[in-house]
Structure 1
């Protein structure tokens, strides 16, 4: 659901940057108040896991479309909504700057559409209430699917509203909405199943990551982190090669309406979009998750591994830079 710059007007883009920026600042403040340094390694490894998992586009049977994990709900289940949102910001920022996945102008909108709803709606309003009193495998899966479906429905709806406000006349609001909502219903269901499976694995091995008062798990914290780290390496470096080549839900919806997966930039926004594209060209060292001017699959594997490592480093580094976790004052 990564929006391209051609889908959004500068004024709408600036508004979404402001909304996402304010949410980021508020999340930093809340994480600092929580002051739980034990979250640092989990933030690093799970943000890397989400980055790697997003590289695997799964086919939606019978549609010619594909989808991928967003990850906001998964991160929030393990980290809380505020640390989860910040981890998603790291993922989307690296995807945009280093891999040209999603437009630079549209980054604020992409953060809002893909991170905000999963962290603050899917988790706070759906997952947490459903699992607060009764916490078991069945509840985890039901809450994960419902949370993912509703989060993606809201994200897809936001995309259609943002393009409407941007005056993208090539995409009729009614037609675009009729394409976006059903396909993201299917994608959200698959994401929910993936999210539920990962959470159930952690529930079986290290339930303390999900509930502080849970009994001690079968595996040590270090062992679980190693397992997840290996999963990141295998997914980003190997399974990413098997990703579906079909257009994702957003591109598929655009193609169904216009006959192409992209829309032409409006003349009055062309200079702004071109400027953003030039900046992104300079920062994107591995555009489209590949080596420049090469179709070698090694580029995809390298992108998956190095991208996940950079995301983990950025997430942990920002935790230190913004002093989100501090040593608690000792009492005498």
Structure 2
């Protein structure tokens, strides 16, 4: 559900950048305290970022629709890292995707952060998932909480996409028709994401239950912590480097909805700001659409580009997400020294 720049106006894109920046600022302040209390969250932010980045590369087919979807990862990140660190980790994923892989526009980055991160980490997680799980931690409750939270988060995010195109004046995407296309397909995607999220959380609950609550991270000794980090990193590299070969080639839910609405998956954005950001993105992205820039049709070449994208993107995300944690901790230490 990564929006392209052509779907938003400069005004709407700027407003959503401001909204996402405000939410990020709030998250940073909260994470500073959390990391000061437990530094083990920093490497976990990195490897979970890498894991979700890699997982987002695998589009799964929605049977009978000709569409596909991928996990957003917001509920999974919030469940393992807490909403604040989860939100910041998702920002690092989306920023790397836009900058280096041309997945989602630069103008639309604020929209994508808000749609995929805010609604999951700050709405669906605390109001649905957390309330269900806190009644009793069990496989049943993990499944119910993950399923409902993923569906609600994705429904809110997909409806936000429609609103953002409406306020951007995209008359070629009529509000009513676009809603009718967007909501049902993202309901199906949300159900699959909920099931996948529940499977991952249930596995970690069986093997490392202390990971499911950030306040329990201090119970992990250094040896176990390294094992957890190594396991998640290996999983990210295998998913991004090999499993990503088998991703569905069908258009994702957003592309499919646009195509069904206007009989084309292309929406034009020809303003000067669109042209400028398109040029910047073309220069920065070294593996656009997770493949080489050259038009190589050979299957082995395509697989190599996908593998390189999955591995390099996972490593970049790991570094950026961990740096966010490190910088947040350092900033709080400097601030404390100044105040003293």
Regarding TM over 0.5, the answer is: yes
Q: Deviations over 1:73-114 (max 9, x none)?
A: 100000100000000000000000000000111000010011
Give matches, 1:121-136, under 5 Å: 121-136=123-138
What is the count of residue pairs matched by the alignment? 325
Question: Are positions 1:309 and 2:325 aligned together?
Answer: no
Q: Determine helix, strand or coil for the equivalent of 2:99.
A: helix
Question: Are positions 1:228 and 2:232 aligned together?
Answer: yes
Alignment match, 1:111: 113
Match of 1:163 among 156, 162, 165: 165
Give matches, 1:49-60, under 5 Å: 49-60=51-62
Alignment match, 2:181: 179
1:237 deviates by: 0.3
Match of 2:102 among 83, 100, 103: 100
Structure (1/2) with the larger helix percentage:
2
Q: Determine helix, strand or coil for the equivalent of 1:104.
A: coil
TM-score (norm. length: structure 2): 0.92
TM-score (norm. length: structure 1): 0.94
Give the conservation status (yes or no) of the 8 Å contact 2:45–2:325. Answer: no
Give matches, 1:1-332, under 5 Å: 1-34=1-34, 35=36, 36-211=38-213, 212=215, 220-265=224-269, 270-293=271-294, 294-295=296-297, 296=301, 297-323=303-329
Cα distance in 2 between the residues matched to 1:6 and 1:68 = 21
Q: Pairwise CA RMSD of aligned residues?
A: 1.9
Give the conservation status (yes or no) of the 8 Å contact 2:151–2:191. Answer: yes
1:322 deviates by: 3.3
Cα distance in 1 between the residues matched to 2:12 and 2:216 = 44
The alpha-carbon distance between structure 1 residues 259 and 316, as it changes in their structure 2 partners (threshold 3 A), is same
Cα distance in 2 between the residues matched to 1:241 and 1:84 = 27
Cα distance in 2 between the residues matched to 1:186 and 1:121 = 20
Cα distance in 2 between the residues matched to 1:319 and 1:135 = 28
Cα distance in 2 between the residues matched to 1:222 and 1:271 = 49
Give the conservation status (yes or no) of the 8 Å contact 1:140–1:196. Answer: yes
Q: Determine helix, strand or coil for the equivalent of 2:329.
A: coil
Cα distance in 1 between the residues matched to 2:313 and 2:233 = 13
Q: Deviations over 1:21-67 (max 9, x none)?
A: 00001100011122221101110000000000000000000000000
Q: Determine helix, strand or coil for the equivalent of 2:280.
A: helix
Q: Determine helix, strand or coil for the equivalent of 1:132.
A: helix
The alpha-carbon distance between structure 1 residues 38 and 85, as it changes in their structure 2 partners (threshold 3 A), is same
Q: After TM superposition, what 4+ stretches of structure 1 lie above 4 angstroms from structure 2?
A: 324-327
Cα distance in 2 between the residues matched to 1:313 and 1:198 = 23
Q: Determine helix, strand or coil for the equivalent of 1:323.
A: helix
Q: Deviations over 1:209-241 (max 9, x none)?
A: 113469x79x93332222211111110000101
Cα distance in 2 between the residues matched to 1:324 and 1:247 = 42
* Structure 1: 5+ residue stretches without partners: none
Q: Determine helix, strand or coil for the equivalent of 2:254.
A: helix
